[in-house]
């Protein structure tokens, strides 16, 4: 067995088991940790398939930002284990409906794609390790993003900067009843009146 197929099977099994642990555990912190493990396994699968840009974006955006944010929120809220156990048979029909609706959408997407290359007798496996000299997806996307769509990229960065400054301004609360330190008044104070010598009698 080739190393690519072996790694693909290993990461797929770990992703499936981790996703089952996410929906089966009652502790929210453990569920978020297994969700991070799901994202890492999916990123590894995308890396094996040759989609380096999507793999790194999944790690940076989902694992580095969204999943960590979920973890911090859950830990700050201090959510305990669910005391009320829901009945499995009451939520089973809803799960079946959602499963068949998602399966129908996935099946319709596969029908619209041209999958004639999967019907051939022998599949040709190309190892991504032997293609290090070729241009990667990150280089291709970077060339297109910073040349043809550079104006849109700069505008999106400016919009994110304005949103960040607006969030900082909205969260800054100026309280009047709080005595704050005024550095300019302390520096302009006369040194003669700052010290006072007292004679204490024994």
- pLDDT given for residue 202 in this prediction: 60
List the structure tokens of 138. 């990150």
Token look-up 């990150």 returns: 138
Alpha helices in 25-149 (DSSP H): 28-48, 52-57, 68-77, 88-112, 137-145
> Domain spanning 3-134 has what CATH number?
1.20.120.1200
- pLDDT given for residue 8 in this prediction: 85
List the structure tokens of 11. 């990461």
- pLDDT given for residue 162 in this prediction: 94
- pLDDT given for residue 155 in this prediction: 94
- Eight-class DSSP state of 137: H
Distances (CA, A) of 192 to 159, 186, 189: 53, 13, 9
- pLDDT given for residue 71 in this prediction: 79
Q: What is the mean pLDDT of each run of 10 residues along the chain (202 residues)?
A: 80 90 84 89 87 85 84 73 60 85 82 60 63 74 86 91 87 69 75 71 66
- Eight-class DSSP state of 123: -
How far is Cα 150 from Cα 44, in angstroms, rounded to an integer?
Answer: 29
């Amino acid at each position: 067995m080739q190393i690519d197929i072996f790694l693909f099977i290993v990461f797929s099994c770990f992703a499936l088991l981790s996703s089952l642990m996410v929906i089966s555990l009652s502790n929210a912190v453990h569920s978020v940790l297994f969700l991070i493990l799901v994202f890492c396994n999916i990123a590894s699968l995308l890396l094996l398939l040759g989609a380096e840009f999507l793999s790194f974006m999944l790690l940076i955006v989902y694992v580095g930002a969204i999943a960590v944010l979920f973890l911090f929120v859950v830990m700050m809220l201090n959510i305990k284990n669910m005391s009320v156990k829901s009945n499995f048979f009451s939520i089973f029909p809803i799960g079946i409906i959602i499963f068949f609706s998602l399966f129908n959408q996935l099946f319709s997407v596969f029908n619209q794609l041209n999958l004639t290359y999967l019907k051939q007798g022998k599949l040709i496996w190309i190892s991504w390790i032997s293609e290090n000299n070729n241009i990667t997806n990150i280089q291709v996307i970077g060339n297109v993003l910073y040349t043809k769509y550079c104006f849109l990229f700069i505008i999106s960065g400016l919009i994110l900067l304005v949103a960040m400054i607006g969030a900082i301004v909205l969260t800054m609360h100026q309280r009047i009843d709080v005595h704050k330190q005024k550095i300019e008044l302390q520096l302009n104070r006369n040194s003669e009146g700052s010290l006072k010598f007292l004679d204490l009698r024994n």
